[in-house]
Amino acid sequence: MPNPFSLLVSVRNWHELIFAFALVNLKQRYKQRYLRAAWAVINPLLTMAVFTVVFSKVAAIQSEGVPYPLFAFCAIVPWIFFSSSVGFAVSCLNSNFNLITRINFPKITVPLGSILATFFDFLISSALLAAMFALYGYPIGINALYAISVFMVHMMLTVGVCLMVSVLNVYFRDIQSAMPVILQVWMLASPVGYPVGMVGKGLLPYYFLNPMAGILDGYRKALLHNHAPDPLSFNIAAVISIAVFLLGYRVFKMSEKNIADIITP
Amino acid sequence: MKAVVFEKTCKRFHKSEYFFSRSDYLWALNDVSFSVDRGEAVGITGPNGSGKTTLMRLIAGITRPTSGSVAVNGRVVPLIRVEGALNFNLSARENISLLAAVFGIKKKAVRKIFGDIVDFAGIRDMLDMQILKLSHGMISRLSFSIAVHIDSDILLIDEVLAVGDSSFQEQCFKKLSELKKQGKTIFFVSNDIESIKKACGRVIVMESGRIVSDGA
């Protein structure tokens, strides 16, 4: 079992390479795109617009007494950080085939750099979320600080899933093909467009096995309702996220040595 | 002091593209043993598919032996088809920083060698162009230049010199003998016996994954 703190040591020793990979990813993403970083804003805004029409206007769901666009955006921003991190991470080792088969370096820097690039988009869209609060004149209370602990759990889950899918995709490219539909189902199984309150009581125990449920609801409790995250759902999310992180790191470390022999571009 | 020691080293690859399937193996290296002293320059030659590049990749730590052992003392900079390691969407400047970071060189140290890399490759006018717009020759010059300017104890050079023009080749051999004088261990893979003899005091000849001759 690799010591999870050894990850911090790798990050410290190789932070320049992680940043370099993040920079390359961003450049690649903005290549010949005139709107560049604006895409970090356009994607969540379009999602919010679609959700507002479908969930709020067509399905007429209640949004915990919060204006629906703000309610949705509070979960869309962290959801997109998670889903695009995973979406980019799944093929990140494969797209660095050229480096991996020619130079020996710690492979973990590749998915970490990919996550860091998406984190940059997350920062931009979080600023937009703050602007939305100002636009609606929506008050933010002291308990919004709980969002920090929610973020730590969110990050654990993201890193764990990204490490796992990136290295498994070297062995089974099926993961890459399955990922769009997995992320779509995962989003529908998480309270992104609708409130947790709408989920039937009988379903809830299973519903909260999805750590994104407790995480997204936690963000909403903290930011929209000036309230601590719901203890049950958030604790389940925290435990599962930490387990996923440890498992992801372990799987990555175990498989790392074979990557260069198996990887295809 | 030994720089590299191979002991009964074997390396096999799956023939199938699927990792989890019963498949035949290709034995790229079969019971290879040799050792190289620090400061030696060793040429490695042999027909295509004889295991030369696999040998280099084991020294570089890119891949691990299936059985037997590989011991390496010192920092290895591999130039194994390294022009392929460059990112064609990035400029020469960006490629230099990325590759240096991959080799674990800190930014401060990169700044010191940046000018030398650029001048040696002769690409000062094209620093900020995407390298996919550069010629094949210019790209190999860039990759060779990056690798030889990174501080290393062991340098692996694989067929890279075949591409440059004659003045660049001359420049490369000059650089190589300079590095040799600094006491670096150099492995030089080529099919061109003449250039190997020019650069190396010892030649290892390989055939189907085995060493068939080793000597001056």
> Which stretches of chain A are DSSP H helices?
5-13, 15-30, 39-51, 68-89, 92-95, 97-100, 109-136, 146-171, 174-188, 204-207, 211-225, 231-255, 259-262
Contact status, residue A69 vs residue A132, Cβ threshold 8 Å: yes
Q: Taking CB atoms and an 8 Å limit, are B97 and A20 in contact across chains?
A: yes
Domain boundaries, chain A: 6-262
In a domain, B22, yes or no: no
Q: Encoding tokens for residue A203?
A: 């379903």
Pairing of strands B202-207, B41-45: parallel
CATH number at residue B139: 1.10.8
Half-sphere exposure of A129 (CA within 13 A, CB side): 23
CA angle B176, B101, A175 (to 5 degrees): 120
Residue of B nearest to A22 (CA): B98
Residue B21 lies in a domain: no
Tally of domains in chain B = 1
Q: Give me A72's structure tokens.
A: 């949705």
Identify the bridge partners of residue B215 per DSSP, sorted by sequence position: B203
Q: Is the separation of the CB atoms in B27 and B209 below 8 Å? A: yes
Choosing among A101, A104, A262, which should be mutated to test the B contact, i.e. which has the most B CBs within 10 A?
A104
In three-state secondary structure terms, B18 is coil
d(Cα A84, Cα B119) in Å, to the nearest integer?
41
Between chains, do B102 and A260 touch, taking CB under 8 Å as contact? no
pLDDT digit string (tens) for chain A, length 265 residues: 678 888 999 999 999 999 999 999 998 888 777 787 888 889 999 999 999 999 998 998 999 999 999 999 999 999 999 999 999 999 999 999 999 999 999 999 999 999 999 999 999 999 999 999 999 999 999 999 999 999 999 999 999 999 999 999 999 999 999 999 999 999 999 999 999 999 999 999 999 999 999 999 999 999 999 999 999 999 999 999 999 999 999 999 999 988 998 898 8
Q: Which of A244, A28, A260, A29 is nearest to A167 (CA)?
A: A260
Tokens of A43: 């994607």
Q: What pLDDT, on a 0 to 100 scale, did the predictor assign at position B164?
A: 67
Distance from CA of B212 to the nearest CA of A (A): 26
One pLDDT digit (tens) per residue for chain B, 216 residues: 899 999 999 998 888 877 777 778 889 999 999 999 998 999 999 998 899 989 999 999 999 999 999 999 999 988 777 778 888 889 999 999 999 999 999 999 999 999 999 998 888 988 999 998 988 888 888 888 888 888 889 988 876 666 667 788 788 888 888 888 888 999 988 887 777 887 788 999 999 999 998 887
Pairing of strands B25-37, B2-14: antiparallel
Domain encompassing residue B107? 79-152
Please report whether residue B132 resides in a domain: yes
Radius of gyration, alpha carbons of chain B: 18
Tell me, yes or no, whether B119 lies in a domain. Answer: yes
Q: Which of B74, B140, B148, B154 is nearest to B113 (CA)?
A: B148
Contacts of B87 in chain A (CB under 8 A): 24, 98
C-beta of residue A138 within 8 angstroms of C-beta of residue A68: no
**Cα nearest neighbour of B103 on chain A:** A105
Query: What is the rounded CA–CA span in Å between residue B59 and residue A103?
Result: 11
* Tokens at B130, concatenated: 């995407």
Interface ipTM: 0.89
- pTM listed for this prediction: 0.92
